[in-house]
Structure 1
Amino acid sequence: MASGNRPVLTVTGLKKSYRSAGEDIAVLRGVNLAVAAGESVALTGESGSGKSTLLHLIAGLDAADVGEIILDGVSLSELGDAGRAALRRDRLGLVFQQFNLIPSLTVADNLTFQSRIARRHDPKWQEELVERLGLARLLKRYPEQLSGGQQQRVAIGRALAPKPLLLLADEPTGNLDEDTADEVLALARDLVARTGCGFLLVTHSARLAATLDRQINLHAGVIA
């Protein structure tokens, strides 16, 4: 964890199993990790190691069997569905491989969607995001009119518009070619540093992982 910075995320003893074909399959077997404000951490691991499951638990999209997730001093296990949804809305930025933009909204409206829901829309920060992400000429377009790299830039801008406490990204460059992936991740790192939020990136790419502050590996359900 980044020295001197407060932890924005602490995960302790996290376990998660799923029922399949009549038996329990352990996916996470006691995960411990922490991410500090302003720190970027890459989470790597082979396919099926539980990386996406871990991110979904941190985002409050699923509940752990055992263990604790503390985000901004709040334990997710103490929150109901509504509380987790509010925390996700107000304190988390989420970026996924499939972009998940709203097809009926323009780029401009997609960018402001999250910050307006969270009631933290900042026009000056929005202008900076548009400029830094190179989206000024695309604001009136719709997602279907954009390349994959452009869509992912919009997704990153939408996630960072409310200035979240923590940005979670699950293979955000998985659908992009290598050069575009490098460019998109560099923009994300710069903007994360600008906001001072924590950044947890799931990636299968050792090359991309090496560009972040710290790398951790998930193997057989635990942090190796």
Structure 2
Amino acid sequence: MTSGNPIVLSVSGLTKSYRTAGEQVAVLRGVNLAVASGEGVALTGESGSGKSTLLHLIAGLDAADGGEIVLAGTPISGLGDAGRAELRRDRLGLVFQQFNLIPSLTVEDNLAFQSRIAGRHDAAWHGELVARLGLGQLLKRYPEQLSGGQQQRVAIGRALAAKPLLLLADEPTGNLDEATADEVLALARDLVTRTGCGFLMVTHSARLAATLDRQVTLHAGLIA
């Protein structure tokens, strides 16, 4: 853990089961995890180990069966749907493998979307993101006119535009070639450091995981 930095995410005793083919299957069996401000943590593990489930619980996209998730002092488990939506809007940045850009909006409007609905649009920071992500010539284009790497840069910029407390990324470079993946992740790491937010990334790539500050492995429903 990053020495001296405050803990932005604390997960303790987290459990989650799903009913499949008439039986309960325990996916998470008591996960404990902490991420500090400014720290990049790679979450690895075999397919089906529950990595995406854990990220979805932290993001408030699903509810845990037991345990506690605390984001910057706010327990997520006690929040209703509206409270979790507000948390995602105001305190979290989310980046997924599928980019999830809004097709009807230009690059510029996609970039500003979350910061505007959060009421924290910062024109100077927006301009810095445009420059750092190399999007200056693409602002009037639409997502369908971009390459995969360009779309992922926009997705990362959108997630960081509101200066979240925590950036969650689920296989964010899974659809990119190796060189583009390296470039996009390097940009993400640099911007995370610039904002001081925590960064938790699910990845199957040991090579990419090794570029972050710390690696943790999810195995048999527990952090190994």
- For these two proteins, the number of residue pairs brought into alignment is 224
Q: 1:26: which partner in 2?
A: 26
Q: 1:193: which partner in 2?
A: 193
Q: 2:117: which partner in 1?
A: 117
Deviation at 1:78, TM superposition (A): 1.2
Q: 1:216: which partner in 2?
A: 216
Q: 1:15: which partner in 2?
A: 15
Q: 2:92: which partner in 1?
A: 92
Deviations along 1:148-193, one digit per CA (max 9) or x if unpaired, are: 0000000000000000000000000000000000000000000000
Deviation at 1:3, TM superposition (A): 1.1
Residues in 2 aligned to 1:38 and 1:111: alpha-carbon distance in whole angstroms: 22
Residues in 2 aligned to 1:173 and 1:192: alpha-carbon distance in whole angstroms: 16
Deviations along 1:86-140, one digit per CA (max 9) or x if unpaired, are: 0110000000000000000000000000000000000000000000000000000
Residues in 2 aligned to 1:108 and 1:23: alpha-carbon distance in whole angstroms: 47
State the 4+ residue runs in structure 1 displaced beyond 4 angstroms. none
Deviations along 1:22-48, one digit per CA (max 9) or x if unpaired, are: 100110011000000000000000000
Deviation at 1:206, TM superposition (A): 0.2
Deviation at 1:213, TM superposition (A): 0.3
Residues in 2 aligned to 1:76 and 1:164: alpha-carbon distance in whole angstroms: 16
Tell me which amino acid in the other structure corresponds to 1:60. G
Residues in 2 aligned to 1:163 and 1:80: alpha-carbon distance in whole angstroms: 24
Q: 1:131: which partner in 2?
A: 131
Q: 1:167: which partner in 2?
A: 167
Q: 1:148: which partner in 2?
A: 148
Residues in 2 aligned to 1:80 and 1:66: alpha-carbon distance in whole angstroms: 15
Q: Helix, strand or coil for the counterpart of 2:163?
A: coil
Residues in 1 aligned to 2:76 and 2:131: alpha-carbon distance in whole angstroms: 35
Deviation at 1:222, TM superposition (A): 0.4
Tell me which amino acid in the other structure corresponds to 2:144. E
Residues in 2 aligned to 1:161 and 1:5: alpha-carbon distance in whole angstroms: 22
Matched, 1:78 2:78: yes
Q: Helix, strand or coil for the counterpart of 2:129?
A: helix
Q: Helix, strand or coil for the counterpart of 2:141?
A: coil
Q: Helix, strand or coil for the counterpart of 1:144?
A: helix
Residues in 2 aligned to 1:143 and 1:77: alpha-carbon distance in whole angstroms: 35
TM-score computed with the length of structure 1 as normaliser = 1.00
How big is the alpha-carbon RMSD for the aligned residues of Structure 1 and Structure 2? 0.4
Tell me which amino acid in the other structure corresponds to 2:103. P
TM-score computed with the length of structure 2 as normaliser = 1.00
Residues in 2 aligned to 1:18 and 1:5: alpha-carbon distance in whole angstroms: 35
Residues in 2 aligned to 1:22 and 1:147: alpha-carbon distance in whole angstroms: 43
Residues in 2 aligned to 1:84 and 1:102: alpha-carbon distance in whole angstroms: 21
Residues in 2 aligned to 1:47 and 1:119: alpha-carbon distance in whole angstroms: 38
Deviation at 1:2, TM superposition (A): 1.0
Tell me which amino acid in the other structure corresponds to 2:25. I
Q: Helix, strand or coil for the counterpart of 2:3?
A: coil
Residues in 2 aligned to 1:108 and 1:79: alpha-carbon distance in whole angstroms: 32
